[in-house]
């Protein structure tokens, strides 16, 4: 937008797909790492980590919707 250049639709879709995959994978890894941790001393950290992993997966879904909207236009 700054240089008034148009980003090609395929490149924009590729970036969104890569973002989707990376967010879903990282969210799943965080949830998998913290899901079975039952230590009482890190209960607050566990809740924060599970929330962050869930938000990462939701962000991956938003990237997927962005990809679908790019491909439809």
Q: Over the stretch 17-51, which tens digit does the pLDDT of each residue have?
A: 999 999 999 999 999 998 887 776 778 888 899 99
Query: How much is the pTM?
Result: 0.81
Q: What is the pLDDT of residue 2?
A: 66
Angle at 3 between CA 10 and CA 9, to 5 degrees: 10
38 to each of 26, 41, 42, 54, how far by Cα in Å?
21, 9, 8, 18
Domain ranges of the chain: 23-72
Concatenate the DSSP letters of all residues of 48-64 into one string: HHHHHHHHHHHHHHHHH
């Amino acid at each position: 937008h700054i240089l008034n250049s148009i980003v090609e639709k395929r490149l924009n879709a590729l970036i969104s797909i890569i973002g989707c995959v990376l967010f879903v994978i990282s969210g799943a890894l965080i949830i998998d790492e913290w899901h079975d941790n039952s230590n009482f001393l890190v209960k607050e950290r566990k809740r924060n980590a599970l929330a962050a992993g869930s938000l990462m997966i939701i962000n991956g879904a938003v990237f997927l919707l962005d990809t679908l909207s790019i491909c439809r236009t």
